Chains A and B, each alone.
Chain A
Amino acid sequence: MLFFSYFKDLVGQEVTVELKNDLAIRGTLHSVDQYLNIKLENTRVVDQDKYPHMLSVRNCFIRGSVVRYVQLPPDGVDVDLLHDAARREARGG
């Protein structure tokens, strides 16, 4: 649940979602659910030469299980808050 609440705080920010099939999509995080399914808006494909057909897509729903990485904006990480949350999670609280 740590990642779910963490990503919820990032809603509205610009992120890059890298899929396990190497496709990387940049866009505004619209929503995330408990399965870490991600909805992006104003998307654009990072490697447009490789995936020209994805150019047209403006919003998309990405299945949580196919996400490899989510690249965050540098100022989107509150390190202290994340530390605390990770400690609480590790204690099972």
Chain B
Amino acid sequence: MVVGLREFTLRTEDGSGKPVLDESNGEELKQVQPSVAIVLGNRPVESPGTLYITSRKIIWLSDVDMSKGYAVDFLSISLHAVSRDPEAYSSPCIYTQIDVEEDEDESDTESTEVLDLPKIREMRLVPSDSSQLDTLFDVFCECAELNPEPVEEEEENGDSWVFGADQMDVRGGGEEDAEWQMSQSPTSVIGHTNGDEGLAQPMLELQINDQRFEDAEEMAHDSESKDHH
């Protein structure tokens, strides 16, 4: 379940260099922040780049190297905060902690030279315009809330699986099996085109008859009242 940080290089082919989003699954762009540098773990700063915040994840794409980009799902972000103390980091930034798969030799993974993205536990996003930090923080909060743990969904699946099993038990008996088919088949007959037309025709005739009948009654009333006067 825990994915962590990953490479992201899917850009639209219209030349804008924007990331390709999973729009068919409802992913939408919430915020674009140009001129953002990124710091992964203790690695050196990478810039310049553009930050894209979607309803699902954070994407950082390099402005110069079109094959360079990173993404992390909100599901994997443990916490985020605004960092302004120059002692912690030289520039004000959004500080994030990323949930990673627990590993036995985790202590020395970050110090190794090889970039192992899923092991990165910290990410800093440094916008050149630091007045945007609070806005970015708020957008991060909003999007994090859009991505609750998928636990409930799993529970629902579990329920429906149990429910499905119950249904199978009920249908186990021979009689009920026949009933099930009975209730199914009339529906399909009514739904049939020929059946519809056959039904519609008498209905129309019936209505015409009704109208004539009402008209006749009214006319009768009219003539009656005329008679009285």
B79 touches A55 (CB 8 A): no
A21 touches B97 (CB 8 A): yes
Which residues on A are within 8 Å of B, measured CB to CB? 19, 21, 23, 33, 35, 37, 39, 43, 52-66
A56 touches B141 (CB 8 A): no
The reply to whether the CB of B46 lies closer than 8 angstroms to some CB of chain A is no
A61 touches B140 (CB 8 A): yes
The reply to whether the CB of B224 lies closer than 8 angstroms to some CB of chain A is no
B81 touches A61 (CB 8 A): yes
What 0/1 pattern do residues 61 to 81 of B give for CB contact below 8 A with A?
000000000000000011111
Residues of A within 8 A of B78 (CB): 19, 21, 62-63, 66
A60 touches B80 (CB 8 A): yes
Expressed in whole angstroms, the minimum distance between the Cβ of A55 and any Cβ of chain B is: 6
B88 touches A54 (CB 8 A): yes
Residues of B within 8 A of A56 (CB): 83-85, 87-89, 95
Q: Please, how many angstroms separate the alpha-carbon atoms of A63 and B137 in the complex?
A: 14
Expressed in whole angstroms, the minimum distance between the Cβ of B8 and any Cβ of chain A is: 21
Which residues on B are within 8 Å of A, measured CB to CB? 77-85, 87-89, 95, 97, 99, 122, 137, 140-141, 144-145, 148-149
Q: Please, how many angstroms separate the alpha-carbon atoms of A52 and B88 in the complex?
A: 7
- With known contacts A35-B149, A65-B149, A66-B78, A57–B83 Cβ distance under 8 A: yes
Residues of B within 8 A of A35 (CB): 145, 148-149
The residue in chain A whose Cβ has the minimal distance to the Cβ of B138 is A61
Q: A61's contact among B83, B85, B144, by CB below 8 Å, is which?
A: B144
A19 touches B79 (CB 8 A): yes
Expressed in whole angstroms, the minimum distance between the Cβ of A58 and any Cβ of chain B is: 7
The residue in chain B whose Cβ has the minimal distance to the Cβ of A39 is B141
Residues of A within 8 A of B79 (CB): 19, 60-63, 66
Residues of B within 8 A of A43 (CB): 81
For this complex, 30 residue pairs linking A to B, each with C-beta atoms less than 8 Å apart, are A19-B78, A21-B78, A35-B145, A37-B144, A37-B145, A39-B141, A53-B83, A53-B122, A54-B88, A56-B83, A56-B85, A56-B87, A56-B95, A57-B95, A58-B81, A59-B82, A60-B80, A61-B80, A61-B81, A61-B140, A61-B144, A62-B78, A62-B79, A63-B77, A63-B79, A63-B99, A64-B148, A65-B149, A66-B79, A66-B99
